[in-house]
Amino acid sequence: MCLVAILAVVGVLVRQFDEFRTSMQYPNSVELSSHENYNQLLSGFRWDATYLSQDDFRDVFSWYSTKYNMGAEDTAIGRCSYVEAIERTQLTLTVIGMHLCDTDEGRHINVTRQTKYGKVFSISAWRDLLRDQF
């Protein structure tokens, strides 16, 4: 019974990780490359992906900016722009960065999502979280 519960939790986590990763892809784009880094899974994880889209630069920029609440561009160099957003919860810190370049082939989209855990696996963090919830 315990093994079934563990497998169920692992299955849910794997599905959630995949949904997080695929949610970074712009709807009208083709994935050119991607990389996941789970080496430090107990302290965090990182995903990087590159996409190509033929959609208008402003449409792509607006989609990411709206979806991740990125706001105005942080940096612009030539035909490229960079924006990022920071999401904080009680247990995680996530930074999502999007680098968008207008090229002759179309719009190149590079997205990075890095999530770091706080003291998620410490007893005091769980105790504090439970105290705050009840």
pLDDT at 80: 93
113 CA to centre of own chain = 3
CATH number at 82 reads: 3.30.310
Q: In the chain, how many domains are there?
A: 1
Query: Taking a C-beta distance cutoff of 8 angstroms, is the pair 36, 44 a contact?
Result: no
Phi, psi of 52 (to 5 degrees): -125, 130
pLDDT (tens digit, 9 = 90+) per residue, 45-86?
A: 788 999 999 999 999 999 998 888 887 777 778 899 998 888
Q: What is the DSSP string of 70-85?
A: --S-SEEETTEEEEEE
Residues 49-73 as b/e (b if ≥16 CB within 10 A, e otherwise) read bbbebebebeebbebbbeebebeee
Residues 48 and 52: their CA atoms lie apart, in Å, by 14
Q: What percent of the chain has pLDDT over 90?
A: 31
Residues 40 and 87: their CA atoms lie apart, in Å, by 20
First to last CA, the chain: 29
Q: Return the minimum-mean-pLDDT range out of 14-18, 84-88, 94-98.
A: 14-18
Q: Supply the range of the domain harboring residue 8.
A: 2-133
Q: What is the DSSP string of 101-131?
A: EEETTEEEEEEEEEEEESSTTSHHHHHHHHH
Residues 31 and 43: their CA atoms lie apart, in Å, by 27
